[in-house]
Structure 1
Amino acid sequence: MSQFMSIGLLDGAPAPDTRDDTEALHRRIAKLERINAALMSQVERSMDQRGSAYSLFQTAITLEGQVRARTEELTALMRSLERSNQALTAAKEEAERANRSKTRFLTAASHDLLQPLNAARLSLSALGDLAVSREAEAIVGQVERGLQTIEDLIKTLLDISKLDAGLIQPAPRSLKVADVMASVEASFGPLAARKGLRLAVRPGGLWVSSDLLLLQRILQNLVSNAIRYTETGGVLVAARPRGDRVRIDVIDSGAGIPEADRDLIFEEFHRGGRESVDGEIALGLGLSIVRRSAEALGHRLTLASRVGHGSRFTLMLPQAAPEAPRPVQPVVLPTSLTGARIAVIENDRGALEALARLFQHWDAYALAARDHLSLMRLMPGSTWVPDVIIADYHLDGGACGLDTVTWLRSIHASNIPAVVTTADHSAEVEAHVRAVGCELIHKPIKPAQLRALLAHLLTRN
């Protein structure tokens, strides 16, 4: 019996309580599988989170490195820029020092160069007063023109240097265009007529705000160039209103300017290979002065030109209200210098001798000395009183001619009229001369100008 039961079990017939145990096992297995799946899901999520955090951590480290590298690069660039700015500042200061040094050098050099030039012009004037042959007169004229060219070159170089250094400060005021153009017409009308050209001036009754001397210099240089390079036709200088501005044109019928040269012609000593119609080679400084003066004034300058037809330079200026008319001063005609007593103090021997000869030809009596002590020794006594004094500003040993003027006035208790001559164009010298109550003439002295001034002073006195 027991054998049969064992066989039945081996054949797979379950015992009555085994089915319940199997179901319980299946349920437990399913539960464990669900628990296992939940745990695996939680582990996977945890691993994902850990992976993302690690990835973010790595990304943060990478970004931090990049930021550090960019910061170091930017810092290096800023330091480099700072060094560059320091180098630029140092270079600018060095350039400004060089510019000031150049201006001082040109000022000193022009003074030394104008001294012998002054003596030469005075001597030529005295020679011209002598009875000489026509051939000698022609030679004198040629020498005078050469000396004038040298004088213009020296003064122009000095003006360019002062403009570059900012030493010339414009003093704009209301100007009547007609007055400015009248001086240009008076200066260049005869030259244009000699060349068979027509110089037409049309001011249009307008007023502008500008600096008189700088504006005159601009127009004079433009008109001079126009006449120089024009063979037939003429030159027109015209002013027209343009809104709140005034447009001034200088138009010529000359050869015109090639497009390649239109910027270069404003550079120093650039002539573009051009030769004036009378064969004279220009120095190439006029338009450089024009450009610098226009920039100093803030006036816009433009150029239009057609080769073979002519050129037009245009200047734009602000309009201004007309000034009230000034009272007209009576004109005192010059008188003769015959018998005039003139005290002269001049440290340059050549200029002193030339002045003495000049006054002798004008029938004046000159007491001429190179310094203060020499003049004291030459004076015939306290009874000799000069009618007028001519004193050089810069004397040897750092002395000043104004001291001699003051001394002569004090010992004679009289405000003797005086003329101070100098090659120094600085505002300080001019202010000093005016403060002492003297007239100022810049060297080289023009004999006609000196004679007219002396005659005026003697008449007024």
Structure 2
Amino acid sequence: MPHKSAGAEHSVRQALDFIPQGIAVFDHGLKLIACNRRYGDLLALPGELMRPGTPLFDIALHLADRGDLGPGDPARLAIERINTITAAPSTVTQRIDSRGQALEFHSSRLPDGGLAVSFADVTARVSAERELARVNLSLEGRVEERTAALTRVNAELESARAKADAANHDKTRFLAAASHDLLQPLNAARLYTSTLMERAKDTGLGELATSIEASLTAVEDIMSALLDISRIDSGAVRPAPAPFGVRDALKKIEVEFAPMARERGVRLRIVPAAATVVTDRMLLSRIVQNLVSNAIKYTRPGGRVLVGVRRRGARLRLDVIDTGIGFNKDQHKLVFAEFSRLDHGARMAQGLGLGLSIVQRLVATLGLSLELDSVEGRGSRFSLFLPLARNVQVAEAEEAPAGEASFGTLDLKVLCVDNERAILEAMDGLLAHWGCDVRTALSLKQIDRERLLEGWYPDLVLMDYHLEQTSGLDAIEWLRHNVGGHLPAALVTADRSPAVRALAEERGVAVVTKPVKPATLRAVISGLASQSGRQTRRSA
């Protein structure tokens, strides 16, 4: 056995001598146990320094005396070198000796406190790296020239982009101002037409009033869509993600679209859910509104539209499913394009095909994903994936009354404030026809000057946002201070910005956008009436 062990040890030593790297092992006292021939050749060590038991310090001191470790006191350099290769469990270092040879060392501490060192000659690699650095340096001059040229071009492009952005912002501001000015008379026209429709039922004028109302609705939809696209494309829409419960958001969708679905003979079902998501609430509502509106428009009478959510891992999938006309896979991209409408869809509903284009833009703005599945003639499913909020508790709104507006007489005292006399007259006519006791004013000054609230306590107030001397929200606060802190109120405005909606929500004020849809207005009034403790009476 001893003979075999000695033979094996000799074979290992012989094999180590053929390895191209230098290898040495030191004990816990940093004395040489063994090394291969390449170790001595690369370091050019004399034979006595390769004998077992030689201290690592003696080897390092020899190298320092020779100048391999740089200028300075040899003993200090030797100690610093030993500290460098033993300071960590494993180290990789590189140095150039006095002959210009570049060596790369790999050292590792052994479990018993010893040290294993291997190293190789990397002179060729270092030379190649230096040559590459030289070539790169020679290229820098040309790169600098090209960079200077690119800088000039970029400066010109930046100037052009700034001009384009300024023009885009001007366009957005113009569209916002123009839309507000156009929506005001359109709102009055919608209110007058709604009153005419209700009074002209079962007469020859009923069909004419319905046609006028449909045309006004088409104008409103086109204006709203064009304004939305302009704001999104100009970067004016900036998401403000925050956690909120989807239950309340789905309830609002039901309140808004139940009248539309009922009018078209479509069954709308909203499945409640208690999940909490993190995204921009207002922009998400706009997406879902467009999807639900499209689903109802393109579903035939007797069909169904379902809105609900499902958990999918760390996300929530919000589905809008319909049994409408659907479309084939080749038409998926087409339905999201501006001013693009499928032939069978164009025959069912008016419009320019902008709703899904807005959805696609808002989904990209929010960083969400939208999935589409549709079968022509059988229906479609649009699925929006939302990030779930973790460890966040969001208070749900109190259970609201049914989303359907009352069909009977409203026995309510309603205060209407708007800076447009035509809108007040139209609103007065519509609300009075619904059985409301209405008082109107152009401003808070008129309310105070004419003492409109003396002996008359309103059940709710409908307030314009853009008043002459104050905002509608501040006016509501003034009324609540002077009339009652719990006065239910709705902001009736042509301003559709998320900022206004957020401010209204903070103050507990509902929002109705102009032009006012009578069914939506009636549903909001019914909800506000329940807040004031009054109940609407249904006619037989």
- TM normalised by structure 1 equals 0.64
Tell me which of 134, 139, 148 is aligned to 1:79.
Answer: 148
Q: Deviations over 1:178-214 (max 9, x none)?
A: 984995799489859967x898989999876544554
TM-aligned CA deviation for residue 289 of structure 1: 1.7
**Contact 1:178/1:206 (CA < 8 Å) preserved in 2?**
no
Q: Secondary structure at the match of 1:351?
A: helix
Q: Secondary structure at the match of 1:140?
A: helix
Moved more, 107-116 or 157-166: 157-166
Distance in 1 of aligned mates of 2:204 and 2:169: 46
Tell me which of 337, 345, 350 is aligned to 2:422.
Answer: 350
Per the alignment, residue 275 of structure 1 pairs with 344
Q: Secondary structure at the match of 2:345?
A: coil
Per the alignment, residue 230 of structure 2 pairs with 161
The answer to whether residue 518 in structure 2 is matched with residue 444 in structure 1 is no
Query: Closer, same or farther in 2 for the Cα pair 1:132/1:254, shift >3 Å?
Result: closer
Tell me which of 315, 328, 336 is aligned to 1:266.
Answer: 336
Moved more, 151-160 or 127-136: 127-136
The answer to whether residue 214 in structure 2 is matched with residue 145 in structure 1 is yes
TM-aligned CA deviation for residue 292 of structure 1: 1.4
**Contact 1:184/1:219 (CA < 8 Å) preserved in 2?**
no
TM-aligned CA deviation for residue 91 of structure 1: 3.5
Query: Closer, same or farther in 2 for the Cα pair 1:377/1:220, shift >3 Å?
Result: closer
Larger helix fraction of residues: 1
Per the alignment, residue 467 of structure 2 pairs with 395
Query: Closer, same or farther in 2 for the Cα pair 1:324/1:355, shift >3 Å?
Result: same
Per the alignment, residue 113 of structure 1 pairs with 182
Distance in 2 of aligned mates of 1:178 and 1:431: 15
Which residue identity does 2:178 align to in structure 1? A
Distance in 2 of aligned mates of 1:103 and 1:157: 10
Unaligned runs of 5+ in 2: 1-134, 536-540
Per the alignment, residue 496 of structure 2 pairs with 425
Q: Secondary structure at the match of 2:343?
A: coil
How many correspondences in the alignment? 389
Instruction: List aligned pairs for 1:148-227, cutoff 5 A.
Output: 148-164=217-233, 165-173=235-243, 175=245, 180=250, 183=253, 187=257, 191=261, 209-222=278-291, 224-225=293-294
Distance in 2 of aligned mates of 1:199 and 1:438: 26
Q: Deviations over 1:203-231 (max 9, x none)?
A: 99987654455445434544554565577
TM-aligned CA deviation for residue 278 of structure 1: 4.5
Per the alignment, residue 101 of structure 1 pairs with 170
Aligned-pair identity (%): 35
Q: Deviations over 1:404-459 (max 9, x none)?
A: 6566666x575482544321233554566567775543323334145325534543
Q: Secondary structure at the match of 2:440?
A: strand
Q: Secondary structure at the match of 1:421?
A: strand
Query: Closer, same or farther in 2 for the Cα pair 1:245/1:133, shift >3 Å?
Result: closer
Q: Deviations over 1:245-285 (max 9, x none)?
A: 455666767463464x54443232222x5332744344211
**Contact 2:267/2:304 (CA < 8 Å) preserved in 1?**
yes
Q: Deviations over 1:129-177 (max 9, x none)?
A: 4364344333333333333333333333333333332424142536558
**Contact 1:184/1:216 (CA < 8 Å) preserved in 2?**
no
Distance in 1 of aligned mates of 2:422 and 2:332: 44
Instruction: Report 1 or 2 for greater relative contact order, CA contacts < 8 Å, sequence distance ≥ 6.
Output: 1
Per the alignment, residue 196 of structure 2 pairs with 127
**Contact 1:389/1:416 (CA < 8 Å) preserved in 2?**
no
Q: Secondary structure at the match of 1:424?
A: coil
Q: Deviations over 1:276-322 (max 9, x none)?
A: 27443442112112211221222223556677887665544445559
The answer to whether residue 358 in structure 2 is matched with residue 292 in structure 1 is no
**Contact 1:233/1:253 (CA < 8 Å) preserved in 2?**
yes
Which residue identity does 1:369 align to in structure 2? A
Per the alignment, residue 378 of structure 1 pairs with 450
TM-aligned CA deviation for residue 115 of structure 1: 0.9
TM-aligned CA deviation for residue 82 of structure 1: 0.7
Which residue identity does 2:223 align to in structure 1? I
Query: Closer, same or farther in 2 for the Cα pair 1:406/1:88, shift >3 Å?
Result: same
Per the alignment, residue 91 of structure 2 pairs with none
Per the alignment, residue 4 of structure 2 pairs with none
**Contact 2:246/2:273 (CA < 8 Å) preserved in 1?**
no
- TM normalised by structure 2 equals 0.56
Query: Closer, same or farther in 2 for the Cα pair 1:202/1:105, shift >3 Å?
Result: same
Unaligned runs of 5+ in 1: 1-65
Query: Closer, same or farther in 2 for the Cα pair 1:361/1:426, shift >3 Å?
Result: same
Which residue identity does 1:350 align to in structure 2? A
TM-aligned CA deviation for residue 103 of structure 1: 2.7
